Amino acid sequence: MPRITTVVFDMYGTLVQNPNDTNLQIFGNVIEQQGLKTTAQELWDSWAPAEEEFQVNRLDPDRPFQSYFNAWKEGFVLSFATLKLNGDPHAATQQFFRDISRRTPYPETNEALGEIQGRYTMALLSNADDGFLLPNLELLEVGFDIVLTSEQAQIYKPRPELFQMILGQLGVSPGETAYVGDRQLEDVQGALDAGMYPVWINRDQRPLDPKLPTPPHQISSLSQLPALLHKGLPV
């Protein structure tokens, strides 16, 4: 049974809430801020295809890195053109960042992190830009020894190089490190490929994707994590 010394966390959907319905609220804020003649749903529907393309393209190691800011700004450029709106894509992306940076922690997040802090080295590894993640950290009541974003590393999960990068910064081996995240591809597969011990947090009981690795450890709430770590993570 491995002795875990270090716990690395994902951010969105793991420590802070990331509900899809808030995106419509954000797009409504963009419309209100810029006085656009459209609806939040229309703006979202015209923007979403560019976001979906970005989600696919960022997994291709042969493509140059693209930040969230640049990808989302391109989405607004296309969206405003499609809807024939005289909008400001840069300002819209800034508004998106401001709203995401206020995502609230799950009810159990701060208490669970408080139990883990002091017993383990804690770090944060997230597919995110600094522009929205770093301000969002202020809503958490504990700190992390290392915070690494995809923007800093210029690479996205599930690429194992990103996980290896934070292991190097922490000075620990993958065999003593747990990674906690909510996505089977980015978090479970990425951590496994790097030799870490993934813990999949599956709050809404999503079915497993049979094409992806089965998580060796699964929890439905962060409140279950301290006890799991205390017992040890069986391989």
Structural domains in the chain, sorted by start: 6-17+106-231 (3.40.50.1000), 21-100 (1.10.150)
* 90: its two tokens: 């840069």
pLDDT tens digits along 88-141: 999 999 999 999 999 999 999 999 999 999 899 999 999 999 999 999 999 999
Q: Which amino acid is at 75?
A: G
Chain centroid to CA 85: 31
Edge to edge, the sheet with strand 6-9 lists 146-149, 121-126, 6-9, 177-181, 197-201, 218-219
Over 60: is that where the pLDDT of 1 sits? no
Element at 148 (helix H, strand E): strand 146-149
Predicted TM-score of the model (pTM): 0.94
Cis ω before 158 (30° cut-off from 0) = yes
Backbone φ, ψ for residue 203 (5° rounding)? -65, -35
Q: Is the pLDDT of residue 205 over 90?
A: yes
Q: pLDDT category, 168, cuts 50, 70, 90? A: very high
What residues does 6 pair with on adjacent strands?
121, 177
- Identify whether the C-beta of residue 15 lies closer than 8 Å to the C-beta of residue 106: yes
Residue 212 in this model has a pLDDT that exceeds 60: yes
The two tokens of residue 178 are: 């747990």
